[in-house]
């Protein structure tokens, strides 16, 4: 897809709304949404995903697209190079707020602007070097974290080890860029603390379907289990990842319950919808005049273990009773 097509996809949608906006005697706020991988048609209030959930929450807070809110949408469709290019385009449009999905998305934007407010839904922003403190982020960036750091990955490794006591190698499903960040390094450290080796290959850029299939092609030869990262690119290809994991016949642990609802084996899940509600709250606060520097980055505190017995039967895996007893929810 060429650059002008990315622009057209967002601009045409905004133009269709601007005629309505022009007739309203009200302040119209401008929100830009930048996603590393999700198709543009999946970034609307009608989408059955978390971005759509956030837009629904914004409406509850009094912000309606086509009335007092103008939204432009941009997606790199998995391409690291296009994400960097689109970050420049978004900043050049000078929106009132940018909703940025993913740590590397926020990192690109951070290099380009210190004034436009950014609300990021991302992995550990301290590890990424985006902010120095969750409680006092400072600067123009706030948001919500889907990854509290190495402790959560140690816990997830322990869950996998409980399920497979003889496990020694875990296939880490993550984009190549995640492997080299502080987040990826933290996951490797968590594996070492559990006496487990993290193995690849990473999902190579542009992180599309073919790249996931290629990464999984070596799984059965190199790993005992699968650990899926919280990367936004993974969630875009969630159903594909679940299918590939099933085909590999290896037990897999996911970061969100949505994967289990799609047929995944088990998840150590946080309330991701709550995270997106908080991000919508933060957007509303900023539109009302609050400064990102004064808005703490939200981090969930409760996690739940969800297991899927039907998925276990499909791959011939049997959960130990003590792990079933540990689970907060069991699907059969």
What are the Cα distances from residue 105, in Å, to 75, 80, 91, 235?
11, 9, 12, 15
Phi/psi of residue 199, nearest 5 degrees: -125, 160
Give me the pLDDT at residue 25, please.
57
Tokens, residue 191: 């594996």
170 DSSP β-pair partners: 198, 225
What tens digit of pLDDT does each residue of 166-183 get?
A: 999 999 999 998 998 888
The number of CA neighbours under 13 Å toward the Cβ of 127 is 22
Kindly give the pairing relationship between strand 97-101 and strand 118-122.
parallel
pTM score over 0.75: yes
Tokens, residue 303: 């996690």
Residue of higher predicted confidence among 50 and 82: 82
Give me the pLDDT at residue 14, please.
37
What tens digit of pLDDT does each residue of 6-37 get?
A: 333 343 333 334 334 444 458 999 999 999 99
Kindly give the pairing relationship between strand 266-270 and strand 303-308.
antiparallel
Phi/psi of residue 218, nearest 5 degrees: -105, 0
What tens digit of pLDDT does each residue of 258-306 get?
A: 999 999 999 999 888 899 999 999 999 999 999 999 999 999 888 999 9
Give me the pLDDT at residue 302, please.
86
Q: Is 264 helix (H, G, I), strand (E, B) or coil?
A: coil
Instruction: Give the contacts of 297 (CB within 8 A, at least 6 positions apart).
Output: 125, 131, 134, 135, 137, 142, 143, 144, 145
pLDDT at 84 over 80: yes
Kindly give the pairing relationship between strand 225-228 and strand 303-308.
unpaired
Tell me the C-alpha distance between 308 and 187, whole Å.
Answer: 24
Residue 185, H or E segment: helix 182-193
Domains in the chain and their CATH numbers?
Answer: 3-145+272-294 (3.40.50.2300), 150-270+303-331 (3.40.50.2300)
Q: How confident is the model at residue 60 (pLDDT cuts 50, 70, 90)?
A: very high
What are the Cα distances from residue 168, in Å, to 23, 95, 312?
64, 48, 20
What tens digit of pLDDT does each residue of 129-161 get?
A: 899 999 999 999 999 999 888 889 999 999 999
User: How far does the chain reach from its first CA to its final CA, in angstroms?
Assistant: 42
Give me the pLDDT at residue 16, please.
33
Residue of higher predicted confidence among 147 and 254: 254
């Amino acid at each position: 897809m060429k650059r002008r097509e990315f622009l057209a996809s967002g601009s045409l949608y905004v133009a269709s709304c601007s005629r309505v906006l022009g007739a309203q005697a009200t302040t119209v706020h401008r929100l830009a949404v930048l996603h590393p991988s999700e198709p543009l048609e999946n970034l609307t209030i009608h989408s059955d995903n978390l971005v759509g959930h956030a837009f629904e929450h914004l409406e509850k807070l009094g912000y309606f697209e086509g009335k007092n809110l103008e939204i432009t949408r941009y997606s790199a469709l998995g391409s690291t190079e296009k994400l960097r290019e689109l970050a420049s385009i978004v900043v050049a449009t000078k929106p009132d707020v940018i909703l940025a999905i993913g740590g590397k998305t926020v990192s690109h934007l951070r290099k380009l602007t210190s004034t436009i407010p950014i609300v990021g839904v991302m992995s550990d922003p301290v590890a990424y070097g985006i902010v120095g403190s969750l409680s006092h982020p400072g600067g123009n960036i706030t948001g919500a974290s889907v990854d509290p750091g190495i402790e959560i990955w140690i816990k997830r490794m322990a869950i996998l080890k409980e399920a497979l006591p003889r496990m020694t190698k875990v296939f880490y499903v993550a984009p190549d860029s995640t492997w080299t960040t502080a987040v990826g390094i933290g996951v490797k450290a968590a594996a070492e603390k559990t006496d487990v080796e993290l193995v690849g290959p990473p999902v190579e850029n542009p992180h599309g379907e073919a790249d996931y299939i290629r990464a999984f092609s070596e799984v059965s030869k190199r790993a005992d289990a699968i650990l899926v990262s919280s990367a936004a690119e993974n969630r875009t290809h969630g159903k594909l990842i679940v299918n590939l994991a099933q085909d590999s016949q290896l037990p897999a642990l996911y970061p969100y319950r949505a994967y289990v609802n799609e047929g995944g084996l088990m998840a150590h899940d946080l309330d991701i919808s709550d995270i997106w509600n908080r991000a919508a709250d933060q957007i509303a606060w900023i539109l009302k005049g609050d400064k990102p520097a004064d808005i703490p980055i939200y981090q969930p505190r409760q996690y739940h273990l969800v297991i899927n017995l039907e998925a276990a039967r499909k791959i011939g895996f049997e959960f130990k009773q003590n792990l079933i007893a540990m689970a907060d929810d069991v699907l059969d």
